[in-house]
Structure 1
């Protein structure tokens, strides 16, 4: 991979609103960070999903959000351009959240708005629960609050897609059917890997279940372009993603039910939900509506799992409107 320059809080603060990117040292660990917009505006921490996807998918939306906000986006620890997780290192969701909190302090941000997609939405919920004083608002884009329940939803959508796109892929069908029928506790190593293995099939470009109004290549092309520019091997990127997931599996807190935290979190909360999303379904939407103390829901009618790509104008406006109404405009 091409060499990536270092980044410091001083460089970011002196950037005068110009985009910055590079490796930022957070408690001795290197995180690849991108910033957009003028430092000093209300800050948004933008969290990617996966787990292990990287912030490549967020770049265009980060630029659009920076019209009114200072946006911080990064490859989560162990992912793509960020540093590797050591073999003997414990790294679960708790460690992930504490790393984000240390980043906030390092950047000199008193409190920030959290915006997370999918697994990133789970991190938003957990961070808000552990550090409420650091959160101005919690924004969720098709979050995964309960890994096991979300996996069953994905599996059902995969089975539906299988008969249209993958009639010869018996292994994928068997893995998906196992998720539907098994009673997972969330801490059984083999069962967890069954789930993760089946979810990997979702990345096949022929399966459109994560997309509704766009073709899959319009999403995956974002990654391929970046990988070519950095001269990285796809197998290397995938290996880092799996290593990141392995560490989360070892820690286990990703498999807890994080939904009860929703009703304990007092920050204003916005749920951006794609109508056809297989991860955050109507059940999650109803739970949020009932339990979020200061919650609002925007249903994006022409999206599945990636509304910031499928309906970017509506997505952006929903965020701007919500934050304006909460008094969080610059």
Structure 2
């Protein structure tokens, strides 16, 4: 198994003011003149952490991580104001220009794969390549599978905890029921809803149960941002047109891509990656046989590190021993 790269400290940090009231947290690590790669976190609302930098060889890559609107260390925390997919695409362009980057590699997982595809389709001439994990196409059936019926039949015990917060009369639309609580005025109710929403995702994200991951997902500050922003997006069809990402694949079919997806991903089932690969014949699809959804799972992490090495070789014409 390929280990993650050691932890490194950023060489630069930025506060990027975008559309009011949002200010994005950004940092850079690795080589100042290296191959630019932007880490696009999941959720939406998940934020970046020290792990985000460890998929990339710091002697080759200029590693950019940023927290999307309302997420992580960006401010205001958990804000839904002016928070849409189109706005996040604009933020990425503003960040690219701010950092003086002509073209970059996109690295995104789960919602990060969604945003990477949407950005690339809007700005195909700014993308060198893409490494995408745990593909999430944000179709109605994808939301229904995880938040209404589907995964509930695989994890009925975890689902019981998720639906316990919602009265039976409201359970025909769980996203709407949670949205009312996550955007209501009762802060205690809001936090209970946030921890239940995020806890459900954390429990289902790995093939083998991970108490550490569940604890991370249910930490109060992270849970509030992720639950509020995810629910805001999903009740609004992720601010995408029906089938938008697949329909627009011809715009980016020429861009090299590596898709990594767990065989037993219960958050974003494998049909997401399979459908994307069919519309992107030049892409490489790697199905990880002993993994679920999380980037922290050994098989997924190994494949992602190897993918960043492969992408660097392809784009920089490096010899194999450069790994």
TM-score under structure 1 normalisation?
0.74
Structure 2 unaligned regions, length at least 5: 1-7, 183-189
Query: How much has 1:156 moved relative to structure 2?
Result: 1.2
Asked whether the equivalents of residues 152 and 179 of structure 1 are also in contact (C-alpha less than 8 Å), the reply is no
Q: Which residue of 2 aligns with 1:81?
A: 73
Taking the aligned partners of 2:215 and 2:164, their CA distance within structure 1 comes to 26
Equivalent position SS for 1:212:
coil
Q: 1:211 aligns with which of 193, 202, 206?
A: 206
Q: 1:254 aligns with which of 234, 239, 256?
A: 239
Q: Which residue of 2 aligns with 1:3?
A: none
Query: How much has 1:21 moved relative to structure 2?
Result: 5.9
Taking the aligned partners of 2:277 and 2:43, their CA distance within structure 1 comes to 25
Instruction: Map residues 307-318 of structure 1 onto 2, 5 A cutoff.
Output: 307-311=295-299, 312-318=301-307
Equivalent position SS for 2:164:
helix
Q: Which residue of 1 aligns with 2:10?
A: 19
Taking the aligned partners of 1:218 and 1:236, their CA distance within structure 2 comes to 16
Q: 1:295 aligns with which of 280, 283, 290?
A: 283
Do residues 157 (structure 1) and 151 (structure 2) align? yes
Instruction: Label 1:55 to 1:178 Cα distance change in 2 as closer, same or farther (>3 A).
Output: same
Instruction: Label 1:301 to 1:33 Cα distance change in 2 as closer, same or farther (>3 A).
Output: same
Instruction: Map residues 17-56 of structure 1 onto 2, 5 A cutoff.
Output: 19-20=10-11, 22-27=13-18, 29-56=22-49
TM-score under structure 2 normalisation?
0.75
Equivalent position SS for 1:36:
strand
Q: Which moved more, 1:298-307 or 1:319-328?
A: 319-328
Equivalent position SS for 2:91:
helix
Do residues 62 (structure 1) and 49 (structure 2) align? no
Aligned length, in residue pairs: 292
Taking the aligned partners of 2:296 and 2:199, their CA distance within structure 1 comes to 20
Query: How much has 1:117 moved relative to structure 2?
Result: 1.0
Q: Please provide the CA RMSD for this pair.
A: 3.7
Q: Which moved more, 1:237-246 or 1:73-82?
A: 237-246
Structure 1 unaligned regions, length at least 5: 1-16, 181-188, 225-233
Superposed CA offset, 1:117-159 (max 9, x none): 1111110000000001111012211121124222233241233
Equivalent position SS for 1:78:
coil
Query: How much has 1:50 moved relative to structure 2?
Result: 0.9
Equivalent position SS for 1:204:
helix
Taking the aligned partners of 1:110 and 1:130, their CA distance within structure 2 comes to 15
